[in-house]
A and B are shown apart, each in its own frame.
Chain A
Amino acid sequence: MKTEFFGSLKRRAVIYFIITVSVTVLGFRLFQMQIVNRQEYETKSSDNSVKSLELNPLRGLFYDRNMNLLVSNSPAYTLRITPADYDTSLNQLIETVIDAESGFIKNFLYKNRVYSKYLPLRLKRGIDFKVVSWIEENSENLPGIDYVLEMYRNYPAGVNASHSFGYTKEITAEQLANNKEYYKQGDFVGYNGIEKNYEDILRGKKGYEYVLVDSRRRELGKFKGGTDDLLPINGQSVVLTFDTETQLAAEKEFKDKRGALVAMDPSTGEIIAFVSAPEYDLNKFSFITPKDFISALYNDPAKPLFNRATMSINSPGSTFKMLAAIAALDLGLITPSYTINCTGGFTYGRFFKCHGSHGSVNVIRAIEKSCNTFFYKLIYKIGLDRWKEYALKFGFGKKTNVDISEEIPGLIPDENYYIKRYGDNWPKSIMASLGIGQGEVSVTPLQLAQYTALIANNGNSVQPHFVRAYLDPNTNKLIPLEFKSINTEINKSVFDIVKEGMFLVVNGKGTATHIKIEDIEIAGKTGTAQNPHGKDHAWFVAFAPFDNPKIAIAVLVENVGFGGTHAAPIAKRIIETYLRGLNQKENKQIDSDSKFAVKN
């Protein structure tokens, strides 16, 4: 049955064919790889062997208006874990060394499972130098554990200002997904406040160092002798509008209170002091923040993370009476000689109470005495929509666009609002309360401060802001930032009348005479925000000095009752602190500028 003898020509041909085809196929494959697709492989080859190391720039610093350092950077050691290399049997040991509770690392790894396991994660910042030397000595037995020297934020002036400064935190996986071109896992970004709003200015520009690495990512030396390296560009420092002494005084005032304080320079819109109380400790955010700390902040009934100065809305109470007065005077509806007779209240559908029988009152006296009857009547003269028009001129019912992002617009109701709510035949009696700043109208402390500033400066000011300028890192010169100016286009004579009323609140027979001081003429207005959930909130708005206002202030103290008693003294002390500081500086200036200067 054997049909073919061994080694026949046919069999040789088969083997010949197999050999030549195989060699040809390999030849084509090599041609394809080395000639056709060469570029692709070449790119991969250099990606492989050249590693770029990020060089982190220093984050920009914060200075106050007098160039005192408020926020700076300090070095600290950070302990890191690379999950892919880490051996979880080390958990207990590491937890003991860094003084963490048992299960901390397990939790940490679980929480961070969304991040790449080949990149190091920060386990703890600010570790002790003893821990660093321990890691150094035992590095052989600690796979996936290392430490780096990093910068963290510190606050040398003792100003906490948590809600305005904000803090920096490791970028979240979600943010990272949206900002892949600049950020990498583990980068710190600004959260809240100035840190967030000025992130682009503060962060600087990362540098890169290119090194040759082998297959085990060991560094072998500089790539191309370092000629391609890019030095990092440090972040630009910002000069804030804060006055450190005033800010410290304001923070102290609110140590054990809830509320907010905003003090501004009326002519420039610069925020001199800004407090939302209770605050939270920024220093704790500089380190890896323990989860308990964060959740404690979130669950705290006092809501420390909530920025009351820009986010809390309350009815402005009697501090809103100047708005109605200005509207009526500017519209020519009343003159200073216009008077009404207060008999202790006003009837429009129902009876609206005044807190006394003030008899015959004109607009100045009505502000001084905070006569409700006068303003109940006035609001009907003005009409709801015209009243709203004036409220908008003063920045109510919309965001102030202050240069931190957490802000809400508040509410100024108009006809449409009530029609929507109650139908076409909405009860007009509702309007009466608006005249005295009660009812649906709601404002933030920042809006009220801006309003006070506009009154103080006769209707002209600048959008409120925290940052005055930033430092050009090359020339070390200050580059001022521009902010939109605000102009109410209301006659100065209108403000003179209203301001006289506010002057008398403190210096006449008004509701805040107890804060009168000899050498500083303060003008102000008390207010009480009715609080359906508990004790009323106290408002006080003020500006000083009366002739040439340098500071306008709005103070809110929650759940304490009448504004004159609780909020006004705080405003007084802050005004004093700021103006006395200002005087000292001016005196120094005068002394040094000219010894012939005459004091008047």
Chain B
Amino acid sequence: MRIDYNIEDKFDFGLLIPVLILFGLGLLAIYSSTINNTLAQDNFQRQLAWGVLSIIIFFIVYSLPTKVFKTVAIPSYFLSIVMLILVLVIGRQISGSKSWIMLGSLGFQPSEFAKIATILAVSWYLSRNNTDIDSFKDILVSLAIGLLPLMLILLEPDMGTSIVFIGVILTIVFWKGISSFSLFVVLSPTFIAVSAIFGLAYFIVGLAIIIAFLIIFKRDLFFSASIFALNLASGFFADYLFNALGPHQQKRIQAFIDPMSDPLGSGYNTIQAKVAIGSGGLAGKGFLEGHQTQLQFIPEQWTDFAFCVIGEEFGFIGSLVVLTMFLILFLRILKIAFSTKDEFLSLVVIGILSVYFIHFLINMGMVVGILPVVGIPLPFISYGGSSLVVNMLMLGIVENIYRTRKNYT
């Protein structure tokens, strides 16, 4: 056995370094936003401790034999399902969602671990021999694997994390090679669901677009009609679901459409977040100098709105650093996903990429006011132990796969 001394061949610094920079910026943001908050003052130390723990986990996962991931795929999936059910029974409710399991004074969110477990399970299913991604059965099973935890998480209720699951499953199925027609069949109900929430007019226009696509694809009449029926059902179901949403979630969607409609309520966070970021200017107001941050205009700014601290105190330069680090990270992972020849591992890597990217997109879109307020954290930056540990664990998996990428043909 030849010992390879070329460390870069075994370890991709393009993954770890951007993440460490993002984590560092996150620590500064957490420090700045909690220094004047007596209730959250120890969040900085906690995040630091979680950071150390998660780096250890990263290296452990990195050094595991790669075949372990396939072995644990199904057991970890069922374990996470059990935990998701458990959290609904014994979970602790924090800010409207029952998503925490408490172990003594430490709490963790099963939904975070369910993400990686689901990625492993779907990838495992789709990488078996003789799967046909365009077969009705395989699509249905892959979707079902993803939809089960999604439903449980919706019950908490945690809409943000549920959206992540949809994105992850779609990305994996896409990467697997789904045909454009099948993708259309899978995507269209989501599209219709969203348009139904916007109102009747949008719903009707959406249905018209679906019919247009069905005509273009020229499938047999019965099949097309079934798909149309499915879409119709999806629209009504979404409308029903929207009405079943908690009032605070409904208000958030309405406030996104017009934040000024409720400036002291749901639209408040969006307005304050934009003011914080916008007032940062080119170079920012300086560390610990942001008015919006220091005077706590955004509640719990160290969690989902942590980017505002960076935007306000470090300005556009700080924002660009964050965007660049994420861009480097995403493209590195995409490269690894592409260069990994093992189908299961490639699907896992793309699944992990989708988790990071969807979190990034929804969170950033929210804080700059181009997407509705959906409570999900910004990876590596927002305060939160479970999220950090799972994100680093997933990074460990990617790094592990990079290490062994040449072992497969």
Contacts and interface: CB of A to CB of B under 8 A. Distances in A.
Interface of A: 1-8, 11-12, 14-16, 19-20, 22-23, 25-27, 29-31, 33-35, 37-38, 40-42, 44-46, 48-49, 212-216, 220
Nearest to A118: B264
B134 interface: yes
Interface string B287-330: 00001100111110000000000010001100110010011001
B176 interface: yes
Interface in B264-298: 272, 274-282, 291-292, 295-298
B11 interface: no
Given A2-B177, A6-B346, A45-B291, A34 B278 contact: yes
A212 B36 CA distance: 14
A579 B299 CA distance: 74
Interface in B326-375: 326-327, 330-331, 334, 337-338, 343, 346-347, 350, 353, 357, 361, 364-365, 368, 370
A274 B366 CA distance: 69
A8 to B, nearest CB: 7
Q: Is the interface of B mostly helix, strand, loop or mixed?
A: helix
B327 A20 contact: yes
Nearest to A216: B296
B327 A23 contact: yes
Contact of B275 (A11, A25, A45, A214): A45
Contacts of B311: 30, 33-34
29 contacts: A2-B133, A6-B175, A6-B176, A6-B346, A6-B347, A11-B174, A11-B177, A12-B338, A14-B174, A16-B331, A16-B334, A19-B331, A23-B330, A29-B370, A34-B277, A34-B278, A35-B281, A38-B278, A41-B274, A42-B278, A44-B275, A45-B275, A45-B292, A48-B272, A48-B295, A48-B297, A49-B291, A49-B297, A215-B296
| Chain A contact residues: helix, strand, loop or mixed | helix
B281 A7 contact: no
A27 B177 contact: no
Contact of A220 (B280, B295, B327): B295
B126 to A, nearest CB: 8
Given A12-B338, A30-B311, A35-B282, A215 B299 contact: yes
Contacts of A8: 177
Contacts of A41: 274-275, 277-279
Contact of A30 (B134, B316, B337): B316
B198 to A, nearest CB: 21
Given A2-B133, A2-B177, A7-B346, A19 B327 contact: yes
B12 interface: no
A26 B347 CA distance: 27
Given A11-B175, A12-B337, A22-B361, 19 more contacts: A1-B132, A1-B179, A6-B346, A11-B177, A23-B327, A27-B320, A33-B274, A34-B278, A34-B280, A35-B316, A37-B278, A41-B274, A44-B278, A45-B275, A45-B279, A45-B291, A213-B295, A214-B296, A215-B298
Indicate the member of B171, B297, B320, B334 with the most A CB atoms within 10 Å. B297
Contacts of A27: 319-320, 323
B306 to A, nearest CB: 15
